[in-house]
Homo-oligomer: A and B are copies of this chain.
């Protein structure tokens, strides 16, 4: 018996990456398109990955003294305009509420593109003394931005799930420590749980967050050689505390403007997991965030049904006792072959087939989703083997992605080479840059590549190496890429 539905991917990753990714997101059940341009619905399978990510990062935040809160999605126009540069940066992509019922509103209300303005309007009331600092609040919500460019599920949507953290400190140094702390937590989340290696550094002046003093960013490389900004952490200095009048009475009894940070990451992390680890059979989920780590498939004829089904329950129980997220696929209306394809598409790390022969011989057949390797083990080795395989897969996915990142990071010492790499190979280009907006803009216009980060582990300014574009000195080393 078969469902008749075409469930597999009909486009190959290496042939048309964009279509492959679109099919992957939809057919694996991660998400579905919404009913307006750029809108996305997160289906339960995708949402449960978001729940994993949220649970991990929320614990990090709480362990480091952050708390959660809730802010309204509608921000009055006057508030959004208060920090000029910030407003200019978001103005073109803000959704405006102008009517309630049949009444026109006297002031238009913006849907939050981000919550700095409304949060800091409130913080100003909550803070009066150094005793109220540091204030460290995070919001798990969604942000809304009318995307003018092409939209892409989970990567660029008119509304997206994210978290945005906002903190207030007594000094610039404290704010800087917070920026670094948070970037480190993002890195841990992304590398250890999502198995995605990142490059870390500062944004250029043109690419930093609108209204920030500086933006630290984590960048990864997707399967098609384009970069993706994974998470950012901004030092806001006193750029917002001044217009929003976030003042506090200092320990020295003088009134001072506070120092602030904001930082965020979004459901694009799920998109990155799909793009980096996925293959032509579907998703490949890192075990640590996979909603289902092991799928158990009963394989039987009518005569063996009772025996096999009972045995799958024992297998499940053993796995659950070891805190492994396992499930039996009990859908009698589908064939085993259909189920194999379905779970491969959904990226479940391990599959266990249970048939009458296996039971008779006290054996089990395990299939790895990532390598599609099959292993036969003794029934009594089950838990130990599964645990070690899950670890192995987690590590292998990271190693593979790390190798991809390394082999797609290429140095360019002159602009001809730069252009050649961008058009033929893509990926990250390490190159020298003089620090001027002019060269950055020219490179972007001529190649589509922009400065992703100025690595913090840079070997400092080198007097003797020239900017890849203008050939002037001195220069810093930066990472360029075409990006999503």
- Which of A74-82, A173-181, A255-263, A397-405 lies at the binding interface? A74-82
Kindly state the separation between the CA atoms of A41 and B68 in the bound complex, as whole angstroms: 11
Given A36-B74, A41-B69, A137-B44, A93 contacting B101 (CB threshold 8 A): yes
Determine how close the nearest CB of chain B comes to the CB of A138; give it in whole angstroms.
9
Within 8 Å of chain B (Cβ to Cβ): is A149? no
The 9 A-B residue pairs whose C-beta atoms are closest, nearest first, are A44-B67, A100-B146, A42-B70, A96-B99, A39-B72, A92-B101, A34-B72, A98-B98, A47-B69
Partner of A73, one of B100, B101, B146, B159: B159
**Is B70 a contact partner of A47 (Cβ separation < 8 A)?**
yes
Contact in complex: A69, B91 (CB < 8 Å): no
CB–CB A50/B70 < 8 A = yes
List A residues 277-336 near B (Cβ within 8 Å): 331, 333
- Our pick among B70, B75, B99, B121 for the contact of A98 (Cβ within 8 Å) is B99
Residues of B within 8 A of A46 (CB): 69
A36-B109, A94-B101 given; 18 more Cβ-contact pairs under 8 Å = A32-B122, A35-B121, A47-B67, A47-B68, A47-B69, A48-B67, A51-B68, A70-B161, A73-B111, A73-B142, A73-B159, A74-B95, A92-B102, A95-B99, A96-B100, A100-B146, A101-B146, A131-B333
List the B side residues contacting A71 at CB < 8 Å: 34, 41
Q: Smallest CB–CB gap between A202 and chain B, Å?
A: 29
* Chain B residues near A109 (CB-CB < 8 A): 36, 95
Report A108-127 residues with CB < 8 Å from chain B CB.
Answer: 108-109, 111, 118, 121-122, 125-126
Q: How many copies does the complex hold?
A: 2
Q: Which residues of B contact A36 (CB under 8 A)?
A: 72, 74, 76, 109
Give Cα distance in the complex from A146 to B98, angstroms.
Answer: 12
Q: How many residues of A contact B (CB 8 A)?
A: 58
Contact A97 B96 (CB under 8 A): yes
Contact with B along A328-349 (1 / 0, CB 8 A): 0001010000000000000000
Pick 26 A–B contacts, CB within 8 A, sort by A.
A32-B126, A34-B122, A35-B121, A39-B72, A40-B72, A41-B71, A42-B69, A42-B70, A43-B126, A47-B68, A48-B68, A50-B70, A72-B158, A72-B159, A73-B111, A74-B95, A74-B158, A94-B100, A95-B97, A96-B99, A96-B100, A97-B97, A98-B98, A101-B146, A101-B148, A131-B331
Contacts of A218 in B (CB 8 A): none
The answer to the question of A144 belonging to the interface, with a C-beta cut-off of 8 Å to chain B, is yes
A68 and chain B: residue at smallest CB distance: B47
Tell me, rounded to whole Å, the shortest Cβ–Cβ distance linking A153 to chain B. Answer: 12
Asked if B159 contacts A74 (CB within 8 A), the reply is: yes
The residues of B that contact A100 with a CB separation of less than 8 Å are 93-96, 146
Q: Are A91 and B96 in contact (CB under 8 A)?
A: no
Q: Is the CB of B137 within 8 A of A75?
A: no
Could you say which of B39, B51, B79, B108 contacts A99, with CB atoms under 8 Å apart?
B108
Contact B95 A70 (CB under 8 A): no
Contacts of A118 in B (CB 8 A): 34-35
- In the complex, which residues of chain B have a beta carbon less than 8 angstroms from the beta carbon of A102? 92
CB nearest to A40 among chain B residues: B72
Within 8 A of B (CB), among A1-60: 3, 32, 34-36, 39-44, 46-48, 50-51
Residue of B with least CB distance to A131: B333
Instruction: Say whether B41 contacts A122, CB under 8 Å.
Output: yes
Instruction: For residue A140, give the distance in angstroms from its CB to the closest CB of chain B.
Output: 9
A85 to chain B, nearest CB (A): 17
- Of all chain B residues, the one with the shortest Cβ separation from A135 is B44
**B residues in contact with A125, CB < 8 Å:** 32
A43 contacts which chain B residues (CB < 8 A)?
69, 126
Bound state CA distance, A333 and B32, in angstroms? Answer: 53
| Residue pair A41, B70 in contact (C-beta under 8 Å) | yes
For chain A, residues 367 to 384, give those with C-beta under 8 angstroms from any C-beta of chain B.
Answer: none
**In whole angstroms, what is the CA distance A122 to B97 when docked?**
25
B-side contacts of A96, CB under 8 Å: 97-100
Which one of A74, A75, A94 has the greatest number of beta carbons of chain B within 10 Å?
A74
| Distance to closest chain B CB from A279 (angstroms) | 25
Interface membership of chain A positions 429-465, coded 1 if the CB is closer than 8 angstroms to chain B and 0 otherwise: 0000000000000000000000000000000000000
Of the candidates B41, B94, B97, the one whose C-beta lies within 8 Å of that of A72 is B41
Chain B positions within 8 Å of A50 at CB level: 70
Q: Give the complex CA separation of A67 and B50 in angstroms.
A: 12
Q: Do residues B75 and A35 form an inter-chain contact, with CB atoms below 8 A? A: yes
Question: Which residues of chain B have C-beta atoms less than 8 A from A331's C-beta?
Answer: 131
A191 to chain B, nearest CB (A): 25
